[in-house]
Structure 1
Amino acid sequence: MDLLSKLPIECLQLIILVLVQDRQYGAIAALLQTNKYIASIALPFLYENPYRKGMHCYISTQKTRSRGRSDHALTSMLLHQLPLDALPPAISYLLETTNPTPPKPLDYGACIRHLCLPSWALDLDYYWPHGRYYREALAYMKGTEFTQLCRDHSLLPCYEENLGTGLDILRCHFQAIVWRQACWTLAGPILEQLQSLTIPVFDLDRYSAAISRLGNLEHLEFALDDIVDYSEEAYFGGDWVMSPRFESEIRERKERQLRTMVQFVRGHAQLFPGRLKTVICSDAEMWPDMHQTCPVETKLEMLRILPPPKSPTFLSKANFLHVSAHLQSTDLSQVQEITDMESPPCLWYDVHRDGRDFLQRCRALKSIHMDTLGPGSFAWAVQEKQDMESLGSNCHNTNSGVQGGVGPPSLQESRPAYLEHGLVPLEEFNILESDDPLSDEDDNVVFAFSQTLKKLTITAATYQERYIPRILQVGGGWVDLPFLTTLYISAAWNRLSLDAQLYRHCPNLTLASFTDNTIRYRCRDITTCFAAELPRLVELELNGWSGLTFHPATLHSTVALKKLCIEIGRDDVDAYFIPPRTELNRSFESDPTGMEGDGGDGDNGGAPIQVAQEGSRMRRPKWTWNWYLPQLTSLTLTGEFAYRFQFRMLQGCPSLESLILNMRLTDRSEQFTRVLSRADLLMPMVADNTGEEGSSSQEQLYKQQEGEAIVAPALKVVKLVGPWVIGDELVVQFFIHMLPSLTDLEEDGVTGYTLEKVCEVLRSMPSKIEELSLSLPEPSEESAKELGLVGEVYDDDENGDDENDDDENDDDSEVGVGDELEKETELKLCLCLEGKRFFLKKEFPSDIV
């Protein structure tokens, strides 16, 4: 540290600045403990904004609790720095301070520039844990002086019904008063140096009287701490009911406070023109069930007094009000991101309606998350693209825009924005359907930003006042999107119909997800999309109509695919519709079963598939189930896709770790029962067509006759749901040979095998299985003993111990019992039968043998 102390101030400041940028506040705090020279340099960096987010989280990994404790300690320390005679009685009693404190070696208050004291930084539970009140403080709270103080602070008795009785009411009132007094006590001596300040609205008159001292104030927060907004829980929660007179008084008081806030901002602007940059209003969060609000009209009135934002780089709910208050005078050319426009919901539409060129002025826009605005929202972008193409100026894109400043000023002013700055470089577009239904937004955005768009998200309305099913058409007006990597479309209450060419427009997709509300369907309505080449696709999630219209030949190109999910129905429904067997079988080309393919890419691998009828025959492409997907780790199929699944697909998925097949039926029909045979677990016989005599050995001939056994070497987790039938004769082949790495199997509704066979195989064959969840009935005590099964024992509380203690120790006690049981009986694995856990012994009991 001696060498560090010899560094010039400028060097030390640069070092500490790097720590601030990395949010290494703990390291800066450690410098305060070195020597006075280093501490005096580090202190301004640490306490410039003492209540900033993340300031104290380094103390503990439990960030929320740590920050709360640290902010309490910080507030206490800052208040202790002040002279005793400067502290109001309530704060003195809170701090239990009765004697003057000695002067501190460092003046922390002199370093503060941003003072935003949150109300919860003075929580009484920190100062008086477990209700242990300071004796003098409790006497003060019950005295006449404090009673009068409550009246002066307008702590109305009508609210007391929400606080409880007696001491609870005193605590709440005391905390409100202490927080208001602490805000002024800390701010009063240093008003001249403050750049940011939180002001309790109830105490605004005191700050107004000192407004001439706030010459450096740039950021102002009005904390709405007075009870002027009453919720139904507050005044209907008890016997008290708000009278018309009281309601009128409350309304007048709120209007008076709002006028005072506007006058304060106007007064500051007159004294210090252009100094105040931002004004926000927030609930002080002091009163349960009492959310205090400020009308949007009042916020806009205050923001219009301020200067417009200076070249914002983003628009969100944090600054959109300010921008909308100065819509025409704000420079939007540097805006790169628009997001969180849901608050307040109506303002987004008003701004767009009043200034139709609003989005067009954001020339640097790269990302936008927005609600629908109606047809023509991006017509300007389409026009710019068409104009640019008509001029033969395709080079004037995002990366090589035409530079301004050429020619005389009159000519320069008349040049369109896209000639000055290039086309808008939009990369991410996320639109949510709200009051205005989706119209031409996706087509226009895709056309206008086809050379820059990387991520596209479309979310149709997630709820409707009146449920009216509709078909959401997507992709009909799309062009090629060479840079698009992420495509997410959700139509929760609709049917999502993808254009047949959509996949071909997006050759570089890495993630594609399509979801809709398709639950029941007719095969003759299905129009299959074109097969496409998607070599970079990593995740493919198809839920609903998109799965039915997907061309399976596309999977021959998805060598990078890691996750494949094709489902029918909603997440909250674990049962699926499958069309009648005759209809389903006839819907597949030249495939009487609708399940078995004959290898290769299948017919129509690269040609459009049209739904047609020849008599009563409908056509869909064959699913060959022979794709090579070397990186696939997760596969989920439900409904007809699970029913038609062929296990030979596993042979081409050497990295597969998780398999879910759910064909639980809505109508419990027996016609869709999948009875597995030995042939289902073997690869189809492949004839030797080499034409060389003697090329077939005895082993090759055997493989041709019997087929090669299917093996999924990495598959660990398997879930089978629905009417599957696996006979005892297949248990060894299914559980052991085909799935050598299986650790977790869950089945529900599977029949055909017996518990005796499972126990026999698992005990005699080497496997990695740790847990099986089976739908077999729970065995009797005698049967369990014969099978070598030991039921899990729970340590019931016979003495009726405290319920809370039981809750806290439930998990630990259960684990402990399981561990002890396994150790004593040398158990191998766990079987869950009808919700009860059994452990399988490695060897049969000697008396059974």
Structure 2
Amino acid sequence: MSTSFPLPPECLHMVICHLAVESDRRSLASLLCVNKYLCSATLPVMYADPFRLRLFSVFSMEEPEKPFSLIKLLSLIKSLLLSLPEGQTVTDLLRAAYLHNASVSTSTDDKATAHQEQEAPPSIPATVATMTPIPYYSFLTHVEFEVHSFSEGIFDTPRFPSSSAIRDYLEKNGHVERYTWRDITGHLDYYNRSEIIYQTVSRDLRRDLTWALCVNGAERIQRLVIPISDISRYLAIVGRLQVLSYVTFLLDSDLKPTLFFGQQFEEGDREALELRQGEREGHMEEMILFVQEHCQRFPNTLTQGQCITDMFTTEEWPKEVHDRLFKSLPLLHKPQFIDNTNWGQFFAGAQDIDLSAVKFIRTRLIKPEEPVFDQVIEQVEPFLHRCRALEDVQISSSGEDAFRWAVDERKQFEREIEDGRATPSRRPLVPLRQLHISFDYDPSSGGLFDDTVFAFQETLENIFISISRTVEQNSTQSLEFSIGDNNNSNNYQSYWKLPQLSRLAVATGHIFLRVHPKFLQRCTQVMHISLVDMRWEYSLDQIDHWESAKLLRLESLTLEGTAAISFHPDTLKYALELQKLHLQMVQDEDDFTCFIPPVEELDAIIKGESTTDSGGSDSVDDGKTPSLLAPLARRPVWTWDWELPKLTDMTLIGEHAYRFQFKMLDGTPNLINLSLSIASTTARHQRTIHLKELTKPGSQQQQQQTHDGEEIYQEQQDLEYIFVPTLKHLCLFGSWRITTHVLQTLFSRVAPEISNLVMSSCLGHDFSEWVDATKQYLHGLDVAELQMDVSEEEMADAGLVEPMTGERMCGYRSVGHWLKETPTGRMLETPAWYHVLGT
């Protein structure tokens, strides 16, 4: 313990390790400057895995500029290379790339010597200017340059021949021609030779740097990525890698060239290809020998291994090589996770591995085209029930009965409680918190969902279910995904609830999503809901309407398809935390129209909504529409008068937009984005926005007169309009009829702060009136878009001009028009852009 810093070394080490885990580089750097004691304790932790610390924040808010972070990465590599023992392993290529000021010893007499063999590497000049007194390399425990190393810029050298240092090195040593002809594609594809050279240089840099950092401190290396083409050197030092616990073998090049139309192998190409194939097979044999020898010398030290490919490689590892590697490794010892890093090793010994400590299983993204989860179940046995600490499951195509075992455990536990043999506090069930399942092959009817929520109801926090859109709806049979045990087919013994559920997302594609009417009532703490299917047309009497729920913590609600027309609006009475509300039907991909029920049906609903009874509407039977009102009596009432003080984003598409009442905006004082679309497939749905709709509820109505069929308004100064000062983005799609006076009132009194305006197919005003209204009242307008057939003459008459080429190049927007004269009251220095799209 230091007398100047009285903290036990163990505690100090824990503090520093925590800073490293959190990538708090500023604090770590500060510790280096306190005193020698803290510096000596910090350096081993900071440089154990330094590239993770650097790469973690390449795109952080702290360092948004990548070039600045890249400079730091290159500086780190330079410091590590300069700290290596004199005359050891630093090649000319490394000098040219990272040590530009160091002397480069080139050998032009022996150009035939292959660079990748590196048996007699040149030395660094022993000068004070090129040496650093601190052996940073000796602290390394992780040397892992994988695919991300290219994208983050460590080996992203300037493409040949733009870098003078790299160019001089390649030209003086004859590597340009060697790099080109070493890859058969290089002389078959002349135009891509520069790209081939770039890739080869990058790979050699990675090989050389990995070896230089590993060989000088092999006794400390715990995690290592070995390029398969360089395995021979590592096999020679396997006895020094005594603490290596995780190894990754990297397939770092392609063998077979890409042949374009009309191309053929030249003379000698097939022999060269067979020779390279033989070399590759030899490297893979050495890889297996490396693992076997390490496991024999240091039993139970090397616990995990995997095979991956780099970003330039299109070929895959042979499956038999994968299998041999995993069989050479010891069984996983009480793993806490199963994912792409150890899946193959788990698969090789699934029956014999102790899975009691597994907390999460993530196989969904290993290989989407292969149902790897099902392979274990089919070839070995079901295993989820053996994972007693399971908290997180992310799998694909698990089958409907994947959690039947959990249901049985739950039922047994409930029977024991009834018999007095157990108490809820001693519940021995799996504490599953997150479930993410995608059905990529066979559709699901919802049985797995119900099993899961029943079995893990006390602990579930996040549920994500998706069914591939490639699963088309059967033309002769209506497929449904039911959640909430609609049919009570499982005979569950308890009325379950989900008190911890925070996120619920279900996307069923072309399979109709049916939700139990009381399901949301069971999710009292849910914050985010997304329920989506691809239902297109529907009849109003076919919908099972949900019951209202008190979701006091709800922040975002996205409902599309069946869920949107099943939703009970009274739920919004209690959603004071709601920030995002999206209710929509499926839109056509070509013209962005959607199905809206016939106007007469919707008009009948509106007429019947004169009651405040949440269970339905009092039908107004005038003898004319009894057949329409009768089946709609139980349809929930949309009052559009909710107080949603935190709502910032609202999108309504289809029926909800057609029935929307603008008085709702009086209860959304913080709304920023509003999008309403009534563009229907029949083109029969038209809405007229009257001035009275923009006044606050209870305010004195505007007096108006009619002359020759047009309304003439008499302005009243004391009239109170709805005021939404935060509204920045307004989109109106479809046949909205808005007269000029209403348009002016909307922009001047209701939402004067609009900066982005989109209006498509709107009626009731001409182009010039629309431009004048935006010019006079929207002083902060940035972009305005209108879908209307407008000629250049009409644009000129409205005061719009197309900017000069130079003016367009200076801005970030390259098309459109702007006003010829700056409007009075304009608040922004940049002009507003007007984009007019023909219909």
Under a length normalisation based on structure 2, what TM-score does the superposition of the two structures give?
Answer: 0.77
Determine the structure 1 residue equivalent to 2:651. 636
Determine the structure 2 residue equivalent to 1:434. 440
Determine the structure 2 residue equivalent to 1:44. 44
Distance 1:658 1:595, change over 3 A: farther
Q: Alignment partner of 1:514: what SS?
A: strand
Compute the displacement of 1:681 (Å).
Answer: 4.4
Determine the structure 2 residue equivalent to 1:410. none
Q: Alignment partner of 1:223: what SS?
A: strand
Determine the structure 1 residue equivalent to 2:760. 748
Once the two structures are superposed, residues 719-740 of structure 1 have per-residue CA deviations (whole angstroms, 9 ceiling, x without a partner) of: 2221121224534554444546
d(CA) in 2 for partners of 1:360 and 1:189?
Answer: 46
Compute the displacement of 1:470 (Å).
Answer: 4.1
The count of residues paired between Structure 1 and Structure 2 equals: 759
**Residue segments in structure 1 that go unaligned for 5+ positions in a row:** 403-421, 589-593, 607-612, 688-706, 799-805, 837-849
Is the contact between residue 495 and residue 545 of structure 1 (CA under 8 Å) also seen in structure 2? yes
Is the contact between residue 426 and residue 452 of structure 1 (CA under 8 Å) also seen in structure 2? yes
d(CA) in 1 for partners of 2:305 and 2:778?
Answer: 70
Determine the structure 1 residue equivalent to 2:707. none
Moved more, 730-739 or 511-520: 730-739
What root-mean-square deviation, in Å, do the aligned CA atoms of Structure 1 and Structure 2 show?
A: 4.5
Determine the structure 1 residue equivalent to 2:413. 388
Compute the displacement of 1:549 (Å).
Answer: 2.5
Is the contact between residue 317 and residue 341 of structure 1 (CA under 8 Å) also seen in structure 2? no
Once the two structures are superposed, residues 147-171 of structure 1 have per-residue CA deviations (whole angstroms, 9 ceiling, x without a partner) of: 7x879xx934444445747777666
Distance 1:65 1:397, change over 3 A: farther
Compute the displacement of 1:377 (Å).
Answer: 1.1
d(CA) in 1 for partners of 2:758 and 2:167?
Answer: 62
Q: Alignment partner of 2:616: what SS?
A: coil
Which residue identity lines up with residue 482 of structure 2 in the other structure?
V
Distance 1:776 1:222, change over 3 A: closer
d(CA) in 1 for partners of 2:213 and 2:362?
Answer: 36
Distance 1:284 1:793, change over 3 A: closer
Is the contact between residue 776 and residue 834 of structure 1 (CA under 8 Å) also seen in structure 2? no
Distance 1:828 1:780, change over 3 A: farther
Which residue identity lines up with residue 51 of structure 1 in the other structure?
F
Which residue identity lines up with residue 677 of structure 2 in the other structure?
N
Determine the structure 1 residue equivalent to 2:104. 97
d(CA) in 2 for partners of 1:396 and 1:339?
Answer: 36
Match runs of 1:420-499 below 5 Å? 422-439=428-445, 440-464=447-471, 470-475=478-483, 477=485, 479-483=495-499, 484-499=501-516
For the pair shown, the structure with the greater C-alpha radius of gyration is: 1
Under a length normalisation based on structure 1, what TM-score does the superposition of the two structures give?
Answer: 0.77
Is residue 286 of structure 2 the alignment partner of residue 268 of structure 1? Answer: no
Is residue 217 of structure 2 the alignment partner of residue 190 of structure 1? Answer: yes
2:378 to 343, 353, 365: 353
d(CA) in 2 for partners of 1:190 and 1:142?
Answer: 32
Which residue identity lines up with residue 367 of structure 1 in the other structure?
D
Determine the structure 2 residue equivalent to 1:418. none
Distance 1:598 1:658, change over 3 A: farther
d(CA) in 1 for partners of 2:75 and 2:697?
Answer: 73
Match runs of 1:71-86 below 5 Å? 71-80=73-82, 81-84=84-87, 86=89
Moved more, 20-29 or 774-783: 774-783
Distance 1:190 1:444, change over 3 A: same
Compute the displacement of 1:615 (Å).
Answer: 5.4
Determine the structure 2 residue equivalent to 1:236. 260
Distance 1:398 1:130, change over 3 A: farther
Is residue 310 of structure 2 the alignment partner of residue 278 of structure 1? Answer: no
Moved more, 264-273 or 105-114: 105-114
Determine the structure 1 residue equivalent to 2:585. 568
Is the contact between residue 141 and residue 223 of structure 2 (CA under 8 Å) also seen in structure 1? yes
Determine the structure 2 residue equivalent to 1:131. 163
Once the two structures are superposed, residues 218-253 of structure 1 have per-residue CA deviations (whole angstroms, 9 ceiling, x without a partner) of: 22222223434x37xx23378244987776666554
Is the contact between residue 428 and residue 455 of structure 1 (CA under 8 Å) also seen in structure 2? yes
Is the contact between residue 16 and residue 28 of structure 2 (CA under 8 Å) also seen in structure 1? yes
Distance 1:655 1:124, change over 3 A: closer
Which residue identity lines up with residue 444 of structure 1 in the other structure?
D
Is the contact between residue 537 and residue 595 of structure 2 (CA under 8 Å) also seen in structure 1? yes
Moved more, 558-567 or 2-11: 2-11
Which residue identity lines up with residue 50 of structure 2 in the other structure?
P
**Residue segments in structure 2 that go unaligned for 5+ positions in a row:** 106-124, 487-494, 619-624, 701-717
Which residue identity lines up with residue 278 of structure 1 in the other structure?
Q
Determine the structure 2 residue equivalent to 1:843. none
Determine the structure 2 residue equivalent to 1:835. 836
Determine the structure 2 residue equivalent to 1:601. 613
Identity %, equivalent residues: 24
Which residue identity lines up with residue 317 of structure 1 in the other structure?
N
Which residue identity lines up with residue 673 of structure 1 in the other structure?
Q
Determine the structure 2 residue equivalent to 1:141. 173
Distance 1:657 1:383, change over 3 A: same
Is residue 138 of structure 2 the alignment partner of residue 110 of structure 1? Answer: yes
Determine the structure 1 residue equivalent to 2:402. 377
1:619 to 623, 632, 644: 632
Distance 1:126 1:75, change over 3 A: farther
Is the contact between residue 160 and residue 169 of structure 1 (CA under 8 Å) also seen in structure 2? no
Moved more, 192-201 or 38-47: 38-47
Compute the displacement of 1:351 (Å).
Answer: 1.7
Is residue 556 of structure 2 the alignment partner of residue 539 of structure 1? Answer: yes
d(CA) in 2 for partners of 1:24 and 1:584?
Answer: 59
Q: Alignment partner of 2:463: what SS?
A: strand
Compute the displacement of 1:526 (Å).
Answer: 3.0
Which residue identity lines up with residue 273 of structure 1 in the other structure?
P
Once the two structures are superposed, residues 259-316 of structure 1 have per-residue CA deviations (whole angstroms, 9 ceiling, x without a partner) of: 321122111111221111221222244xx4x334323443343233333333333322
Which residue identity lines up with residue 230 of structure 2 in the other structure?
D
Q: Alignment partner of 2:294: what SS?
A: helix
Determine the structure 2 residue equivalent to 1:718. 730
Is the contact between residue 553 and residue 605 of structure 1 (CA under 8 Å) also seen in structure 2? no
Is the contact between residue 453 and residue 481 of structure 1 (CA under 8 Å) also seen in structure 2? no
d(CA) in 2 for partners of 1:282 and 1:812?
Answer: 42
d(CA) in 1 for partners of 2:85 and 2:315?
Answer: 32
d(CA) in 1 for partners of 2:550 and 2:196?
Answer: 69
Compute the displacement of 1:33 (Å).
Answer: 6.9
Distance 1:831 1:396, change over 3 A: farther
Is the contact between residue 373 and residue 397 of structure 2 (CA under 8 Å) also seen in structure 1? no
Once the two structures are superposed, residues 295-350 of structure 1 have per-residue CA deviations (whole angstroms, 9 ceiling, x without a partner) of: 34433432333333333333222232232233233332222222243314333112
Distance 1:294 1:750, change over 3 A: same
Match runs of 1:807-822 below 5 Å? 809-811=810-812, 822=822
Distance 1:305 1:448, change over 3 A: same
